[in-house]
Amino acid sequence: MSREELHRQGFRDEAHDLLAELEEALLTLEAVPTDAELIGRVFRAMHTIKGSGAMFGFERIAAFTHEIETVFDLVRNGRVGITKDLLDLTLAARDRIRDMLDEDGGDAAGEARSEDILRGFRAYLPAAGKAAAPSPDLAAPDPAAGEAARVEQVWHIRFRPARTIFLAGGNPAGLLGELGELGEARVVGHAEDVPEFSELEPELCYLWWDVLLRTAAGELAIRDVFMFVEDESLIEVGLVAESGEELDEDGYRRLGEILVARGDISPKNLEEALRGQKKLGSILTESGLVSRENVDSALAEQDAVRELKSEKRKDEAQTTIRVPAEKLDNLVDLVGELVIVQARIRQAAERSTDAVLGNLSEELELLSDSLRDATLNIRMLPIGTTFNRFQRLVRDLSAELGKSIKLLTKGGETELDKTVLDQLNDPLVHLLRNAIDHGIESPEAREAKGKPRTGTIELSAEHSGGEVLVRVTDDGKGLNREAIRAKGLERGLITPESQLSDKELMFLIFSPGFSTAQAITSVSGRGVGMDVVKRCIDSLRGSIDIESTVGTGTTITVKLPLTLAIIEGLQVRVGGEYFVVPLAMVEECVELEHSREETGRRRFIASRGEMVPYIRIRDWFAVPGTAPAIEQIVIAHLASGRLGLAVDQVIGEHQTVIKSLGRIYREVEGLSGATVRGDGSLALILDVPSLYRSVLSHRNRTAAAGG
């Protein structure tokens, strides 16, 4: 990839983040249409996309966004009101910008769509002879409040670009022009770094600039101008003055303060230059113009402001680095290999009598554990970034179905591995669509039942031990057990004689092709959705639980591991083969004597007052050898039931670095991966949900056959 394309890709990544922020701000703005800060966020996002797009060759995006930015500048000034139509139009524009980011060139249909959207925005411009009137439920911002929020300030910006900015596709002149669009700018260029002609490299930039900018845009808008060059360039932004402040007669700070603040002179040199002068406080007190106490009070105020500015600079110094996901994946893989090697070294040290080797093994274990935790933590992201995407889904889908629904989110700060988050998006989409279509009633039906006309869906997340619980809760009509049973009979999933628990009955909704919808619509009725949820959650080694009360609502809880790279497992042995059961699913281990085993095709063991089905791992995977007289049964707990796994020996807990299976073994039922043991041999990771489904399917077939 060329340098130019690399920078263009960097713009695409940043622009997608800005579009996500833009959508969140617009959806929030619908609830609080007079919030000046939200309006400013929308304007700044558009402004940054426009300016950076022009810099990196996305002229179509820049031209398209410019007209939208113009309308929201009028909104900022209180001259145009926020309406639902304007928000719908802006959301459509946001989607169009996203499409343009992914296009190599514009097609006729796309250009026509762009023109339709821009035509809608032009209707809000004064030149169109009209401005949008606020709808009854969405009021216009108060112009007075808008002016109060837009206090003009004077900022000093020092822009010292990287010498190689031209090679990276940057244009300092364009950035200075962007600053000029924010307000009244005075630019002072510095040429002292330009070398002699014989040493000058024409592709390098030797100039740098100081800019005094009078604007109401704020610091964030200023820094947004330099978004794509801030990592390589020196960018200093400082507040000089604010309208209404008491300034010196020249409207500025003292010369020495300015030079020191900019780093042009050291405080020590300034102090030496001013040493011959008396301090102002001494002059004033000696002349009797002011008391010593007043001077001390003023000095205390100076100290407080100085401390505040020092803390602010410290906060601003904290930066983040954007790293491609594949680099993080590679790092996690390397740490996984290190954990395996460390386990082998520990095993060798345990067999050795060398005390030095034992101590080194312990130190290596501590270091590898710390490195593992730190590396996995790098890939952890707050689930709130995923939750925020669904506000738009709920808004659009509820409008399509003629329902009034609000989405509440809780626990957005809960962190999950990025790989888990990426795969969680589709299951949550299907769960939300199901809650909107099947769960929440129409406003009229809710009103008739004494419920609020607006339904509520809550999306929440919380940590639970080494797992994360994600819940989708609605206050709708709940699951209709009779309709589910009837559809199960119709599709042959159960027989009239089937005795299913309430939990097993509700879990029929996850069967492929299952749907209780009376008609096929654009949202539901084809039986595709909930089975996708089950498959995706199973592939993440998670589980699902359902709680539903008729007339009150439904809660679906998804239990997920924090990471897919390394898990805690229970290592077991069958013959000469080793297996790993995910420890989060293990409930208990019990013994099974052959004399107590039930005969026939059905195998059950009594555990905690109920009969739990179990399978022999030896028989399931055709492991050669004879089972011992007393076998161990690992009882695994899933949301839909419990399952016993009969093994020869339970070895103990084992930190499992997961390796994917090859294509030949990937479809083997009952396996989800493999890991390397301390002695270098392999252990297979059991897919407990898959094994449970097989047992349940066998029971249903047996019941249907009358066995």
Residue with tokens 């002059």: 283
Which residues fall within 8 angstroms of residue 326, CB to CB, at 6 or more apart?
Answer: none
Question: Which residues sit opposite 455 in a β-bridge?
Answer: 405
Active-site residue, selected from the candidate residues 434, 441, 577, 700: 434
Say how far apart CA 182 and CA 51 lie, in whole Å: 12
Question: Which residues sit opposite 329 in a β-bridge?
Answer: none
Which residues fall within 8 angstroms of residue 284, CB to CB, at 6 or more apart?
Answer: 290, 295
Q: Verify whether residue 196 is a known catalytic residue.
A: no
> In angstroms, what CA-CA distances link 365 with 191, 338, 563, 585?
56, 10, 20, 26
Sign of CA dihedral 225, 227, 228, 234: positive
**Crossing angle (nearest 10°) for helices 267-274 and 255-262:** 160
Say how far apart CA 432 and CA 16 lie, in whole Å: 23
150-152-154-157 Cα dihedral, nearest 10 degrees: 30
Q: Verify whether residue 77 is a known catalytic residue.
A: no
Q: Verify whether residue 434 is a known catalytic residue.
A: yes
> In angstroms, what CA-CA distances link 159 with 7, 153, 230, 595?
20, 19, 9, 84
- What is the amino acid identity at position 616? R
Per-residue DSSP letter, 526: S
Q: Calculate ∠ Cα 457-459-463, nearest 5°.
A: 150
Active-site residue, selected from the candidate residues 24, 30, 69, 178: 69
Maximum C-alpha span of the chain:
111
Say how far apart CA 372 and CA 222 lie, in whole Å: 39
First to last CA, the chain: 64
Say how far apart CA 433 and CA 175 lie, in whole Å: 44
Active-site residue, selected from the candidate residues 7, 47, 156, 438: 47
Question: Which residues sit opposite 674 in a β-bridge?
Answer: 659, 684
Say how far apart CA 630 and CA 615 lie, in whole Å: 15
Look at residues 563, 584, 566 and name the one whose alpha carbon lies nearest to residue 417: 563
Active-site annotation, residues:
47, 69, 434
